[in-house]
Structure 1
Amino acid sequence: MADVIVVGGGIIGMTAAMRLRERGAEVTLWTPVGPTETVSAVAAAVWYPTGLTFEPRLLTWAAATYAAFRRQAHDGVPGVIIRETRNLERDGSIGEPWWAAAAGRVRYLPIGAPWTREVRFEAPTVEMSVYLPWLRERFVRAGGRVVRRRVDRLEEALTEAPVIVNATGLAAGSLCGDPEVHPVRGQIVLVANPGVFVSVRDQGEPGTYVHPRTRDVVLGGTFQADNWNTTPEPATRDAIIERCVALVPELAGAPVLGEKVGLRPARRGGPRVEAEKWPGGTVVHAYGHGGAGMTLSWGCADEVAALAF
């Protein structure tokens, strides 16, 4: 028997499994799909607490994750890059954003209408198609075990380990009977990178973002709560491209390489990270991170590991 079974192979499950293994636990990861088939693999995966409001624990997780990815970028971990980031605000804010304490040096610059200020900082960018396979391989090399398995009930895992980590994302709604879990649909467009190196976010409605990666640029996006549609919509694609070209004119004419839709695993009330006694053992819940899974991942994994042991 394993000491812990982690159920869920996205960024939250993988980082939790890695932290538990680093503590010496015998860890098995159950996942129904490969790393590049997870919702995490669709994410633009640029550090920023999208859709979250301040809680002390979120700031702690975000800061720890920011530091972890900076170390990994310095160490040359595949898929991890530090990018200059511009947040273009429209709401007239003058104070420091709640997340700024986690993001190193943050600068505030004047900007013309329709924006009210520009916030500049450096942010880790993670190319998930490269990083998730690397992380899973690292976990296996460290002695972890990966099993392709889908679960209908969490009790299935409790028959094989005294502690399980529930990192099942949207599936946690039915597995735990949690009515606060819901999807937030995100559609993105991938275009060839014409030489763009700075990430840009526009706070408008809908929000617009341009996130360059090694070979492509992620253009977005949408933030559609309770929308389960996973089929890309042509009109939405065209609107995203139009907004992004207006924001970064260098993108004009960039060849479209693809488009994707992901359902962010959100939860009203914020992420659920807590230990709960069940018949047969302990369930450590780790779900509901929405569009900020990458941003909170390593810090959250620290707390999950502490709750498990």
Structure 2
Amino acid sequence: MNGRSPRVLVIGAGVSGLTTAVLLAERGCHVRIRTTEYPGETTSAVAGAIWGPISSGPRERTVAWARRSHGRFLELANEPGTGVHLALGTVASREPIAATRPEETRLMTDLRACEPGELPHGFTAGARATLPLIDMPRYLDYLTRRFREAGGELLRSQVPSLSDAAGESRIVVNCTGVGARELVGDAGVLPVLGQHVVVENPGIAEYFVELSESGRWASYMPHGDRLVLGGVAVPYAWDRVPDREVTAGILRRCAEIRPELRDTPVREEIVGLRPRSESVRLKVEHYEGARIVHNYGHGGDGVAVSWGCAHEAAELATDE
């Protein structure tokens, strides 16, 4: 980057857009975020969220992004007000788990296999480890404050086209998630609906995640006095209205593992659209005289790779 501070337009205020905007603003760039949804209204705000093994590709890049993000979340867990904390918990399956573990599990220093008595009824295998958990509403507020303290500007303003964006700034970072289907005509980005149920935490301190390929599973993530229960994955769905039957299924599955959840009060039902793609799109495109950095298509791994992707996106944006 040369001696002049560039002006950068970031489109989207989910975790990818905010994290990238923070890094750019703290590097001295003049950064404006334009978004149709405030951070607390985005799909990112609906996430559980936990750092863990990732499923998106390409693996040679996503592992590096996840590793960098893991290190940053460990640092943030020691900073008050970030919404990030460390928790011990269990990942379990009703089917045998593959012996080959993803490379990123090497970062879990206390990872160990579950003893039979540590598994819920009906589960055959599992592992325990301490992982970063991210209370997304608080975390997005933290990122927003940090962005504004660095001089960033956040506007609720639709960006109708790349031409509009290129006309505003010669450096644009596209973090629109499923919105990339319309903004850049990327039909390869598909919505996968996720629904969570937020309940009052009856005193649960550990997380639990069921590994399942059925599209429905049991999970719970403790964030202080609130517990986020999941989950479902419904492909090609656009309706963000909570489904009562889905809520009932989530509550039932979680209560089978933790009976104290049968009568805990429900605070809210929340829905988001995960941007599924064959691979994360993090690359530069030159369009109408502007440098467009695309950073979208993270599927359900957006939080887990957010810092790694943001660092690379920021480098691409300012690489003259």
Shorter-chain TM band:
over 0.9
Shift, 1:117, TM fit: 2.2
Deviates more, 1:108-117 or 1:32-41: 108-117
Matched with 1:156 is 164
> Does 223-232 or 26-35 show the bigger shift?
26-35
Q: Identity, % of aligned pairs?
A: 35
Distance 1:263 1:50, change over 3 A: farther
Of 77, 85, 95, which residue of structure 1 is paired with 2:100? 95
- The superposition leaves residues 222-254 of structure 1 with CA deviations (integer Å, 9 ceiling, x where unpaired) of 011111121211111111111001122232211
Alignment partner of 2:49: what SS?
A: coil
CA RMSD of aligned residues (A): 1.8
Q: Given residue 290 of structure 2, which amino acid in structure 1 is its aligned partner?
A: G
Please list every run of 5 or more consecutive structure 2 residues that lacks an aligned counterpart in the other structure. none
Q: Are 2:193 and 2:274, in contact at CA under 8 Å, matched by a contact in 1?
A: yes
Partner of 1:262: 272
Q: How does 1:275-286 map to 2 (within 5 A)?
A: 275-286=284-295
State the distance in 2 between where 1:193 and 1:41 align.
18
Q: Is the 8 A contact 1:196 1:250 kept in 2?
A: no
Give the distance between the partners of 1:247 and 1:270, measured in 2 at CA: 34
The amino acid across from 1:293 in the alignment is G
Alignment of 1:79-158 (within 5 A): 79-89=83-93, 90-111=95-116, 114-158=122-166
Give 1:32 shift: 2.3
Task: Give the whole-Å Cα distance in 2 for the aligned partners of 1:303 and 1:103.
Answer: 24
Instruction: After superposition, give the CA deviation of every residue in 1:2-55 in whole Å (9 maximum; x if it has no partner).
Output: 521111111000000111122222211112232211111111121134543670
1:141/1:92 Cα in 2 relative to 1: closer, same or farther (>3 Å)? closer
Correspondent of 1:10 among 6, 9, 14:
14
> Normalising by structure 1, what TM-score?
0.94
Match in the other structure for 1:298: 307
**CA deviation map 1:194-248 (0-9, x unaligned):** 0001110111332221111111111111011111121211111111111001122
Q: Indicate the SS of the match to 2:302.
A: helix
Q: TM-score normalised to the size of structure 2?
A: 0.91
Q: Counterparts of 1:153-192 in structure 2 under 5 Å?
A: 153-192=161-200
Contact between 2:97 and 2:126, CA under 8 Å: does it hold in 1? no
Q: How many residues align?
A: 308
CA distance in 2, matches of 1:175, 1:225: 20
Is 1:64 the counterpart of 2:68? The answer is yes
User: Take 1:231 and 1:148, find their aligned partners in 2: how far apart are those partners?
Assistant: 22
Q: Which runs of 4+ in 1 moved over 4 A?
A: none
**Residue matched to 2:227:** 217
Q: Structure 1 residues 287, 305: CA separation in 2 closer, same or farther (over 3 Å shift)?
A: same
Give the 3 Å change call, closer, same or farther, for CA 128–192 of structure 1 in structure 2: same
Q: How does 1:185-200 map to 2 (within 5 A)?
A: 185-200=193-208
Q: 1:3 to 1:102 in 2, by over 3 A?
A: farther
Q: Deviations over 1:135-191 (max 9, x none)?
A: 111111112222221111022121121110000111101111111101001111111
Quote the Cα distance in structure 2 between the aligned partners of 1:25 and 1:44.
31
Task: Tell me if structure 1 keeps the 8 A contact 2:108–2:130.
Answer: yes
Q: Secondary structure at the match of 1:173?
A: helix
The one-letter code of the counterpart of 1:79 is G
